[in-house]
Amino acid sequence: MKRLIFLLLAALVARPAKADQTVTVNASAGLGGLCRPGRWAPVRVDVESRGRSVSSEAASAEIVIEWGDARVRRAITLTSPSRKQVELYIRTADARDSMKVRILIDDREVASTVAPVRLLAPADPLTVCVSSAGTWSAPGVTCAATVNPDVLPRSWRGYAAADDVVWPSEGKPALTAEQHTALDHWRAVQAIENAGSSAPSIADVAPKARALRRTGTLMLLYAASLGLLVWPLNHVRSQSLSVYPVVVAVVAAGSILALASGRVGSGASVHVSQSARVEQLAGTKGSIVFARAVAEFPAFGPVELRADRADGAIAPRGRDRRDLRFDENGAPMLAGTYGLGATAAFEVEAVTPFEPLRATSNGATIRVTNVSARDLRDCRFGAGFSKQLVGPLSPGQHVEVTRQTRAIDPVFSCRLDAAVVEFAESGRPVDSDGTAAIVLHLPEARTQP
């Protein structure tokens, strides 16, 4: 009997935290529940908090989604009572027929749910029909999924599994600005992915970390000089007390110089070196950016490096690249605890507002303008234009060419010696350098009426 009571008590103590009903979570995933392996899938999560386990003050929490071998984390602030709806995006080649969604507070699971999905093979078409009525009756259209416009994704990643999105014949329903932008970006990504061109790739060699090399050398020289100063004192039997203030002054001066260099200390900057490929589609907003980067940290402590203006993801290199993090606003984030001189390599895949080039056409004439504030170099047109080599292009400068009978490679490309992805960190400034290969996919020829 005593043993039975002990087992019951042990079971109560070991009861999982998800039984706590003060936080509840519901989730739905995919486009009408449909997903493709290896493609981004949207996940809509509703979190409601109430009761005493979540205080009336804001509590830092995390939404964690697991799908196969992939995991996504997004920060969220909970108050009681409150209700929040958040949209996240996840992808994996190891796709399963459901996703696990958990809510963590102080690394303790307080609620969980499962979002079922249906998997489509790569060859199966996925046409998304948008209808407020929830049904679709237009002839000639086969809908794999019919969705309400309210649940359309807020990011281009949410459409990654789709082949097409169609609207009722009476017109497109009202969408939010975020939804419009997401659709425009997705169509641009589709067009660029389908365009065959000789677009430059990211440099084979990842960007080199160099921000702290100079500081490390100076610190080594400083330590060596200090040793040379102190060593003779250990061999002098009769030491004057006046020597010790000199040693203290040298140590203090060296420390002040190290901090003033701006590369060490709690107030120093995080440095990011990046190498990127930037692709634009003429007539659309924003650019698709694929970047490799190395971040260097000036002091020991926790770091949350965010790409605030990027709609995409940051994937750490050398660790589990399937574990992605996002802040409360949905910005991709590299988080961890790093020491002085430590480095972290990562990759960025995102759509950003960066638009260095603009193209206009008048019949067979194409004009490309550098609309950025940076000098571009090694600019050139692809095969099939009246001119290939352009050379440097200053801010505001433009070049005109004539499209031949059929442009074989309808792109304009340049090199940029600057960083293109903007990063921020909560406790420290961030400075960046880098290089980028920029590719503008040119518009089709059209004749003025």
The verdict on residue 429 lying in a domain is yes
Whether residue 305 is found in the same domain as residue 426: yes
Whether residue 303 is found in the same domain as residue 422: yes
Whether residue 21 is found in the same domain as residue 101: yes
Sequential pLDDT tens for the chain (449 residues): 444 444 444 444 334 434 444 899 999 999 999 999 999 999 999 999 886 555 556 788 999 999 999 999 999 998 878 899 999 999 999 999 999 999 999 889 999 999 999 999 988 999 999 988 766 666 778 889 989 999 999 999 999 999 999 987 767 778 899 999 999 999 999 888 887 555 555 444 456 555 445 445 545 555 555 555 555 555 554 455 555 566 556 555 555 554 444 445 556 889 999 999 999 998 888 899 999 999 999 888 899 999 989 999 999 886 555 789 999 999 999 998 888 888 999 999 999 999 999 999 888 899 999 999 999 999 999 888 999 999 999 999 999 999 886 667 789 999 999 999 999 998 899 999 999 999 999 876 554 44
- Find the helix or strand (DSSP H, E) in which 165 lies: strand 164-166
- Yes or no: say if 80 and 55 are a contact pair by the CB < 8 Å rule: yes
The verdict on residue 6 lying in a domain is no
Whether residue 440 is found in the same domain as residue 311: yes
Domain count along the chain: 4
Going across the sheet that includes 145-147, the strands are 145-147, 127-130, 164-166
The verdict on residue 10 lying in a domain is no
pLDDT of residue 6: 43
Can you tell me the distance from the alpha carbon of 14 to that of 402, in angstroms, rounded to the nearest whole number?
A: 74
- Yes or no: say if 437 and 413 are a contact pair by the CB < 8 Å rule: yes
Whether residue 429 is found in the same domain as residue 378: yes
Q: Which residues contact 224 (CB under 8 A, 6 or more apart)?
A: none
Whether residue 295 is found in the same domain as residue 443: yes
The verdict on residue 4 lying in a domain is no
Domain that includes residue 246, residue range? 213-232+242-260
- From 119, 154, 178, the end of a domain falls on 119
**CA distance to 322, 326, 344, per residue, from 317 (Å):** 10, 17, 8
In this structure, which amino acid lies at residue 420?
A: V
Helix (H/G/I), strand (E/B), else coil: 222: helix
Question: Where are the extended beta strands (E) located within 282-321?
Answer: 287-296, 301-306, 311-316
Cα dihedral value 155, 161, 163, 166, nearest 10: -50
Q: Which of 313, 271, 312, 318 is nearest to 434 (CA)?
A: 271
pLDDT of residue 408: 72
Whether residue 56 is found in the same domain as residue 96: yes
Whether residue 411 is found in the same domain as residue 358: yes
For 422, other C-beta atoms within 10 Å of its C-beta total: 16
The verdict on residue 105 lying in a domain is yes
The verdict on residue 320 lying in a domain is yes
- Yes or no: say if 87 and 155 are a contact pair by the CB < 8 Å rule: yes
Report the CATH number that the domain containing residue 55 is assigned in CATH: 2.60.40.10
The verdict on residue 7 lying in a domain is no
- Yes or no: say if 389 and 324 are a contact pair by the CB < 8 Å rule: no
The verdict on residue 360 lying in a domain is yes
Give burial (CB, 10 Å; 0-12/13-18/19+) of 439: buried
Whether residue 283 is found in the same domain as residue 321: yes
Residues in the chain: 449
Whether residue 288 is found in the same domain as residue 302: yes
Whether residue 158 is found in the same domain as residue 246: no
Whether residue 106 is found in the same domain as residue 135: no
- Yes or no: say if 447 and 424 are a contact pair by the CB < 8 Å rule: no
